[in-house]
Structure 1
């Protein structure tokens, strides 16, 4: 049963004017109630220092040991494979440098004695910084 046959339905609209009025009042309230604090500043004259950056990069000596016991110091083959011969090769590679880092690149199949010989030669030459180069397994 339709009792409102002749009346047209009015489209409903949302009146935004009261919403805008309420928002403006809220904004005014927030601005008025906000307290601004002053940040106190100190006038400080910081000391200055002049330091020269180190001009030298750390000296790195690469020692390669292959599976057959051959040595290479900074890409130069070493003919004398004794500890004394390795010490001479290390001394020549270091030259006038101070506190070199000896990096041992040993083949996985090289003998333990070959690596110990490099470490002993470095010890005899008083080179105490020794590192071992490794690689990450593929698939890990």
Structure 2
């Protein structure tokens, strides 16, 4: 009896089951993942206009530094308390209620520092408040 030698075949990798398993895993991950959408505030920021300054009867310029220090009309305020700032603003207003408070805050200043200026202006009886902005160079 003569036996034939069998030819050895090269092993072959079948990719179809592998792709099926990957698709099942992908579908599972897509279904189990939660997508959270963060709530956003839709706000419109003011744009600075480079028009000429209007003639104002009395201006009180309050500068707020990045570290929270205050300067009222080029005079530094000792301390960061609202009461001290309010007293400095009252002194700068010299009893005139029609004075305009211009808040010039550093971009890195804390929001609380700007809120303190607004609160001090209210305590000093100054109701006209505006914010300084840098003109947009285009």
Category of TM-score, reference length = shorter chain? 0.5 to 0.7
Number of aligned residue pairs: give it: 84
Q: Distance in 1 between matches of 2:122 and 2:102?
A: 13
Q: Which residue of 1 aligns with 2:92?
A: 93
**Is this contact kept in 1: 2:97–2:126, CA < 8 A?**
no
Q: Distance in 1 between matches of 2:120 and 2:97?
A: 16
Q: Which residue of 2 aligns with 1:116?
A: 115
Higher relative contact order (CA 8 A, sep 6+): 2
Q: Which residue of 2 aligns with 1:79?
A: 78
Q: Could you say which structure has the larger radius of gyration?
A: 1
Structure 1 segments of 4 or more deviating over 4 A? none
Q: Which residue of 2 aligns with 1:45?
A: none
> TM-score, normalised to structure 1's length?
0.56
Q: Distance in 2 between matches of 1:92 and 1:100?
A: 12
Question: How far does the alpha carbon of each residue in 1:72-119 deviate from its partner, in whole angstroms, 9 at most, with x for none?
Answer: 000000003111111000011111323110000000000000000000
> TM-score, normalised to structure 2's length?
0.57
Q: Distance in 1 between matches of 2:87 and 2:68?
A: 17
Q: CA RMSD in A?
A: 1.6
